[in-house]
Amino acid sequence: MLAEINFDGIVGPSHNFAGLSPGNLAATRSRGRISNPRAAALEGIAKMRANLALGLRQGILLPHARPDHRWLADLGADFAGAAPHLQAQAFSASAMWAANAATVSPAPDTGDGRCHLSVANLVTMPHRSHEWQETLAQLRLAFADPAFVVHGPVPAPFGDEGAANHMRLAPSHDAPGIEVFVYGISGGPYPARQHPDASYAVARRHGLDPARTLFVQQSEQAIAAGAFHNDVVAVANGRILFAHEYAFADKDRFYADLRAAMPEIEIVEVSAAKVSLADAIASYLFNAQLVTLPDGEPALIVPEEARDTPNVWRWLQAHVAGNGPIRRVEVVDVRQSMGNGGGPACLRLRVVCDPASVDPRFLVDEARLDAIAAVIDAEWPEAVDSEALGDPALVGRVERARRVLLEALGTVELIDR
């Protein structure tokens, strides 16, 4: 009874535009803007409702404690007296991007027949490097059933950014698949965030069959253009790989290896002549959810920015009209997340498992989303100025908002993790 569940990160009440992520062009461009945490979180709820309406299964991951006082204490600081850059790094709501929570290998792929999850260490960026402890606590709660194995992080300095640099292709969710780990070596002025040794380590931990596991280098050109994760330039699901022409360092070898491992693969490549790398990254065409609908139809869930970019929308319409492998395009509004460099795919972690094995507190339906939205409406700040993160009133409101939500969802054990 295996099914794919999308676990979306609920946008936290501390969502702000501090511009902490070099290489993430959208985030650095937004630096200093006033953010809207309430609107951002409600956009995420609307996206989850749209998934449910499509017949997809939906789960959640919860906002982290912000500011992260424990992390600051390890630095010998308290929030009120910390330097502004440390305040911003302790206040970040970046855990909302659940694609960076972990790498997931479903049971059909693993040596012991259990679903393995390795929490990402995110050591490359200071504001994300302290997420893994709380993420690990949530994963161990949500996936406590013996059907799962939840691993701690790969040790530093081998940067691991989770599912954003991992793809899986399979004839069906419950069939053995091909797992693809995409790593970086260099990226012009920007750091390559996925270390090859981290990818190898995760594959070994998960007990993957080497004959069905590929390791692929992301192109330096893509990283330098702002593709800080592979999922900004490529996404896969079922038998379909959807990628930009410049996504990979040696695409010809990768495509040949992929076809040898999975002859039925359908590679949908978007040429730079039709959609430039810059437009692909600005529109987040590939940071989309490529999903299989209940009737077996492949669909692509893209952000509004894809429709707003003429050549991107033109390509999508032509592909669907031409009877391409992707048969349907759905559009969602996640503009607040996009402003910080995270599209629809960033907001979700895909887990193929038996839904009955998941802690039900982490699964949602319309009624549960109604309850979450009510808390967000009542408790989330309407606006946050990234230049005023040290405001004690804001800190108090953010901490209260998260506490109220966790109490409402029955996950009080996570309040103090």
Enzyme catalytic residues? 161, 229, 346
How far apart are the C-alpha atoms of 267 and 246, rounded to whole Å? 14
Backbone angles phi, psi at 52, to 5 degrees: -60, -40
Is the CB of residue 182 less than 8 Å from the CB of residue 217? yes
> d(Cα 181, Cα 173) in Å, to the nearest integer?
18
Number of alpha helices (DSSP H) and beta strands (DSSP E) in the chain: 15, 17
Instruction: Count the residues in the chain.
Output: 417
Which of helix, strand or coil describes residue 293? Answer: coil
Report how far residue 305's alpha carbon sits from residue 361's, in angstroms, rounded to the nearest whole number. Answer: 32
Q: Give which of 259, 220, 215, 217 is closest to 241, Cα–Cα.
A: 259
CB 256 within 8 A of CB 313: no
E-strand stretches of 108-176:
115-119, 148-151, 166-169
Q: Could you give the CA distance from residue 13 to residue 382 in angstroms, rounded to a whole number?
A: 9
Task: Give, in order, the Cα–Cα distances in Å from 110 to each of 174, 240, 287, 357.
Answer: 12, 21, 26, 17
In angstroms, the CA 335 to CA 91 distance is 20
| Residue 348: C-alpha distances to residues 31, 191, 203, 316, 341 (Å) | 24, 23, 21, 22, 14
> What is d(CA 411, CA 61) in angstroms, rounded to the nearest whole number?
11
Residues 6+ apart with CB under 8 A from 167: 179, 180, 182, 230, 234, 235, 236, 241
Residue 394: which of 93, 91, 126, 130 has the closest Cα? 91
- Tell me which H or E stretch contains 17: none
